[in-house]
């Protein structure tokens, strides 16, 4: 299996070109930027960084085509989105209450050592809300697959064939950022499978999509649910990692208590910070975090993997 | 206090007597009003007998008299103006028996409203929110003008329907009903604000319907036909024709001043139909004893309605965003209503601003209110 590289955001510090060149890739490179949605075709700059060898899989464009041609699937997709929105609303209500409880318990004075037990129990309640959401989401996917199986859609099948043919010719894949919901949905519907021999370079939402657990976060969002939210499963190429792009801009990294809650909540994952300039290499199919990667530890502090 | 810390107008006074060119240079250099720390100095220049600043700031004398500087034709007054304040005002003069009122000729900054224009005094720390100005990068929504046949109002009611950029029938949108809709579009730049807030991912894409009144003082203070039109005609029509989220949580009524009363009274008449209210400087005037409210006959139905609501408060929506300016007379009724709403179980977000009863105040609060009621998809986007 070949190399996977996660990069920091590319808007201000563009490293994708040099990263791909350093991989020694000589063939074509598949570009996935469906997270840009209707701006997907504005890919000239990205293609330029790839020395003109990029081939856009046009997943968003293909999705629009499917939705306009396959009425049965389009109706199922709309119903799925409505139900997922409702599920997310209820999840947000339950999650915020559970997170608030953790913070309230943590701030309460404990004289007889009940505090830590209560806090761990409150934290487990948060994890239970996450598990409930994940289970309901699985059920939702099962339901939509039963109602309108993508495998039975001629239009989707035709696009899958084209995508597969393009991927077969590509030596590497780059996955850009954007709207992670749209990106994941297009990857899922078109059943995009990254070949084991293909190197992959991804950033921002693209990096999140390569993990097995996609977590939404924005501590500085003006309103809404302030807690990080589980969203969906990713492609799972990098299991055990929660990717946190724009960490400095989106997380209150100085609030160690808040960061600790986040890290302990996803205790089975490594929380990887991907800020501007970050380059995290996973060579030869490795999934362990390499030395130098910046992560959030259970105390809520940023640490560097491999640092003494 | 050092020379540089003394007010500019006081330093000018030390140079009496003043000649015309000296005053010219002073006005040219400092403009009007002069903002120095938390003080504002208003100037007027002219051959008059008396000059006042006319404003509606509760707590400051109105009219605020200016004094002549020496024997010159320059008049001034300095008043406290806390950080972040914004005040709309005019100048009034008397020359003999002749009184005249107009915008400050030394101040080019104006605000507009259905009543005309006013001069604007912005204190240190006040900033026009950046999402107010037209942003060429923001995708534009569209406004569609329509006439809705209303049995309740016995007329054709004009409305303007805002469809967000990239409007797509495969999506579903929340609905915002805007009282005084034409004024919100004209004086609060609400289409631009919606375009920008949606573009910045601060709010979810939404459909808004802008509804102007015909007889505002009759239709807005708890008027059954108006409420019936909104709840039984307008909302069902739009829900039938547009891809709207068909739940109370996705329906919001908003309005300012009497429009706030119209929003609340419509929700009271149709509890459970709407999930939220956005009330800006709502005219929620009430009395605790008797009926001497001091607001004139126009407020009689308002006071009856608010008194009745206060006697038996009920949760008619889930969430209310309220804002009010601390310089307007309605600040006390608005503050008083917050605990009344909260005790019913409704979630209330209440904010105050150092501003008055005017459209730019309401415009500036739209970001807070709309993003709380319709949080945007920022969490989904990682560029």
Q: β-pairing, A178-179 with A170-175?
A: unpaired
> What pLDDT, on a 0 to 100 scale, did the predictor assign at position A226?
87
pLDDT digits (tens, 9 = 90+) for B197-211: 999 999 999 999 999
Q: Which two tokens stand for residue A46?
A: 């990205």
The pLDDT-based confidence of B4 (bands split at 50, 70, 90) is low
Contact at CB, B377 and A180, closer than 8 angstroms? no
Together in a domain, A55 and A90: no
Together in a domain, A242 and A107: no
Q: Is residue A51 part of a domain?
A: yes
CA A82 vs CA A67, B172, B242, B315: distances in Å: 15, 8, 15, 27
**CATH at residue B59:** 2.60.40.10
Together in a domain, B241 and B103: no
From CA B87, how far away is CA B33, in angstroms rounded? 11
Together in a domain, A127 and A240: no
Contact at CB, A179 and B377, closer than 8 angstroms? yes
Together in a domain, B339 and B296: yes
Together in a domain, B209 and B70: no
Contact at CB, B378 and A221, closer than 8 angstroms? yes
Output phi, psi for A70, to 5 deg.
Answer: -110, 90
Are B262 and B354 in contact by the 8 Å Cβ rule? The answer is no
Together in a domain, B81 and B204: no
For chain B, percent of residues with pLDDT exceeding 90: 96
Query: Which helix (H) or strand (E) is B98 found in, with range?
Result: strand B98-102
Give start and end residues of each alpha helix (H) in A148-204.
154-169, 180-189
Q: Is residue B127 part of a domain?
A: no
> What pLDDT, on a 0 to 100 scale, did the predictor assign at position B3?
52
Give, to the nearest 10 degrees, the angle between helix A256-265 and helix A71-107: 130
Q: Is B169 on the interface with A (CB under 8 A)?
A: no
Q: Is residue A74 part of a domain?
A: no
The pLDDT-based confidence of B147 (bands split at 50, 70, 90) is very high
Cα of A8 to nearest chain B Cα, Å: 10
Q: Specify which residues B353 forms β-bridges with.
A: B325
Cβ neighbours of residue B22 closer than 8 Å, sequence gap 6 or more: B12, B15
Residue appearing with tokens 């600790």: A260
Contact at CB, A222 and B379, closer than 8 angstroms? no
Contact at CB, B383 and A38, closer than 8 angstroms? no
Together in a domain, A167 and A225: yes
Q: Is residue A76 part of a domain?
A: no
Q: Is residue A134 part of a domain?
A: yes
Domain extent for B232 = 142-377
Q: Is residue A16 part of a domain?
A: yes
pLDDT digits (tens, 9 = 90+) for B285-316: 999 999 999 889 999 999 999 999 999 999 99
Output phi, psi for B188, to 5 deg.
Answer: -120, 10
Together in a domain, A56 and A174: yes
pTM > 0.90: yes or no: yes
From CA B377, how far away is CA B356, in angstroms rounded? 32
Q: Specify which residues B147 forms β-bridges with.
A: B158
Supply the DSSP string of B122-185, one letter for each residue.
E-TT----TTSS--TTSPP-EEEEEEEEETTTTEEEEEEEEE-TT--TTS-B-EEEEETHHHHH
Domain extent for A28 = 4-67+153-304
Contact at CB, A245 and B382, closer than 8 angstroms? yes
Q: How many CB atoms lie within 10 A of CB B338?
A: 15
pLDDT digits (tens, 9 = 90+) for B316-345: 999 999 999 999 999 999 999 999 999 999
Supply the DSSP string of A115-133, one letter for each residue.
HHHHHHHHHHHHHHHHHHH
Contact at CB, B371 and A223, closer than 8 angstroms? yes
For the four alpha carbons of B5, B10, B13 and B14, in that order, the dihedral sign comes to negative
* Residues of chain A with C-beta less than 8 angstroms from the C-beta of B171: 81
Give which of B146, B281, B300 is closest to B218, Cα–Cα: B300
Q: Is residue B75 part of a domain?
A: yes
Among chain A residues, CA nearest to B371: A223
Together in a domain, A35 and A85: no
> What pLDDT, on a 0 to 100 scale, did the predictor assign at position B23?
96
Q: Specify which residues A270 forms β-bridges with.
A: A241
* Residues of chain B with C-beta less than 8 angstroms from the C-beta of A81: 171
Together in a domain, A200 and A282: yes
* Residues of chain A with C-beta less than 8 angstroms from the C-beta of B319: none
* Residue positions counted in chain B: 383
Give, to the nearest 10 degrees, the angle between helix A114-147 and helix A256-265: 50
Q: Which two tokens stand for residue A35?
A: 């997270």
pLDDT over 70 (residue B2): no
Domains identified in chain B, total number: 2
Together in a domain, B85 and B185: no
Together in a domain, B87 and B192: no
Q: Final residue of a domain: which of B59, B88, B122?
A: B122
CB pairs under 8 A between A and B: 63
Together in a domain, B44 and B166: no
Together in a domain, A158 and A141: no
Q: Final residue of a domain: which of A125, A147, A169?
A: A147
A204 → closest Cβ in B376, B378, B382: B382
pLDDT digits (tens, 9 = 90+) for B47-73: 999 999 999 999 999 999 999 999 999
For the four alpha carbons of A113, A117, A122 and A123, in that order, the dihedral sign comes to positive
Q: Is residue B1 part of a domain?
A: no
Per-residue pLDDT of chain A (308 residues; tens, 9 = 90+): 689 999 999 988 999 999 999 999 999 999 999 999 999 999 999 999 999 999 999 999 999 999 999 999 999 999 999 999 999 999 999 999 999 999 999 999 999 999 999 999 999 999 999 999 999 999 999 999 999 998 999 999 999 999 999 999 999 999 999 999 999 999 999 999 999 899 999 999 999 999 999 999 999 987 778 899 999 999 999 999 999 999 999 999 999 999 999 999 999 999 999 999 999 999 998 999 999 999 999 999 999 999 87
**CATH at residue B350:** 3.40.50.1820
> What pLDDT, on a 0 to 100 scale, did the predictor assign at position A225?
86
> What pLDDT, on a 0 to 100 scale, did the predictor assign at position B170?
83
B380 → closest Cβ in A38, A74, A216: A216
Q: Is residue B133 part of a domain?
A: no
Together in a domain, A158 and A211: yes
> For B78-104, what is the mean pLDDT?
97
A217 → closest Cβ in B367, B375, B379: B379
pLDDT over 60 (residue B21): yes
Q: Is residue A184 part of a domain?
A: yes
Output phi, psi for A62, to 5 deg.
Answer: -65, -40
Q: Is residue A30 part of a domain?
A: yes
pLDDT over 90 (residue B146): yes
Q: Is residue B223 part of a domain?
A: yes
Domains identified in chain A, total number: 2
- For residue B360, the number of C-alpha atoms closer than 13 Å in the C-beta half-sphere is 22
Average pLDDT score over chain B: 96
């Amino acid at each position: 299996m070949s190399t996977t590289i996660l990069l920091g955001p590319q808007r201000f510090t563009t490293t994708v070109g040099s990263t791909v060149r350093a991989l020694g890739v000589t063939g074509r490179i598949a570009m996935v930027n469906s997270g840009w949605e209707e701006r997907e075709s504005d890919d000239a700059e990205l293609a330029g960084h790839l020395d003109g060898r990029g081939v856009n899989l046009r997943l968003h464009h293909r999705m629009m085509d499917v939705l306009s041609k396959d009425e049965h699937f389009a109706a199922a997709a709309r119903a799925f989105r409505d139900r997922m929105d409702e599920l997310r609303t209820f999840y947000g209500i339950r999650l915020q209450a559970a997170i608030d409880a953790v913070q309230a318990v943590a701030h309460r004075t404990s004289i007889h050592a009940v505090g830590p037990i209560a806090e761990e129990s409150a934290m487990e309640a948060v994890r239970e809300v996450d598990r409930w959401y994940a289970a309901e989401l699985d059920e939702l996917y099962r339901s939509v697959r039963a109602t309108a199986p993508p495998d039975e859609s001629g239009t989707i099948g035709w696009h899958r064939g084209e995508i597969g043919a393009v991927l077969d010719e590509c030596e590497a894949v780059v996955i850009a950022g954007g709207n992670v919901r749209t990106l994941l949905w297009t990857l899922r519907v078109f059943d995009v499978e990254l070949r084991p021999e293909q190197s992959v370079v991804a950033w921002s939402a693209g990096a999140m999509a390569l993990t097995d657990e996609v977590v939404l976060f924005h501590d500085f969002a003006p309103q809404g649910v302030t807690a990080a939210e589980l969203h969906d499963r990713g492609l799972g190429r990098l299991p055990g990692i929660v990717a946190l792009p724009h960490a400095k801009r989106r997380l209150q990294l100085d609030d160690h208590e808040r960061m600790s809650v986040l890290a302990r909540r996803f205790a089975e994952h490594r929380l990887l910070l991907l800020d501007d300039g970050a380059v995290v290499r996973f060579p030869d199919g490795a999934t362990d975090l390499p030395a130098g990667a910046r992560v959030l530890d259970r105390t809520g502090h940023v640490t560097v993997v491999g640092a003494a | 206090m050092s020379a540089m810390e003394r007010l500019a107008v006081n330093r000018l006074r030390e140079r009496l007597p003043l000649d015309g060119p000296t005053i010219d240079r002073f006005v040219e250099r400092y403009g009007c009003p002069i903002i120095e720390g938390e003080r504002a100095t208003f100037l007027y220049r002219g051959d008059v007998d008396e000059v006042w600043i006319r404003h509606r700031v509760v707590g400051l004398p109105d009219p605020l008299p200016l004094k002549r500087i020496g024997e010159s034709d320059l008049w001034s007054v300095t008043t406290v103006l806390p950080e972040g304040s914004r005040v709309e005002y005019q100048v009034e003069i008397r020359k003999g028996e002749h009184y005249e009122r107009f915008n400050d000729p030394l101040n080019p900054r104006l605000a507009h409203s259905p009543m005309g224009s006013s001069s604007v005094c912005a204190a240190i720390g006040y900033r026009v929110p950046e999402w107010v100005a037209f942003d060429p990068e923001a995708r534009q929504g569209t406004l569609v003008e329509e006439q809705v046949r209303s049995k309740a109002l016995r007329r054709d009611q004009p409305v303007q329907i805002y469809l967000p950029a990239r409007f797509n029938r495969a999506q579903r949108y929340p609905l915002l009903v805007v009282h005084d809709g034409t004024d919100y579009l004209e004086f609060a730049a609400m289409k631009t604000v919606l375009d920008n807030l949606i573009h910045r991912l601060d709010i979810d894409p939404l459909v808004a319907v802008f509804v102007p009144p015909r007889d505002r003082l009759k239709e807005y203070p708890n008027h059954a036909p108006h409420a019936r039109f909104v709840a039984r005609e307008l909302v069902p029509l739009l829900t039938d024709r547009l891809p709207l989220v068909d739940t109370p949580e996705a329906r919001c009524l908003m309005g300012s001043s009497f429009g706030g009363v119209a929003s609340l009274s419509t929700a009271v008449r149709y509890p459970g139909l709407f999930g939220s209210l956005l009330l800006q400087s709502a005219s929620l005037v009430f009395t605790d004893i008797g009926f001497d409210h001091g607001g004139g006959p126009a407020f009689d139905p308002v006071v009856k309605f608010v008194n009745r609501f206060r006697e038996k408060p009920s949760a008619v929506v889930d969430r209310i965003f309220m804002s009010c300016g601390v310089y307007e007379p309605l600040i006390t009724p608005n503050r008083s209503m917050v605990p009344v709403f909260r005790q019913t179980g409704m979630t209330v977000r209440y904010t105050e601003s150092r501003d008055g009863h005017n459209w730019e105040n309401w415009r500036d609060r739209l970001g807070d209110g709309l993003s709380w009621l319709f949080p945007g998809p920022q969490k989904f986007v990682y560029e």
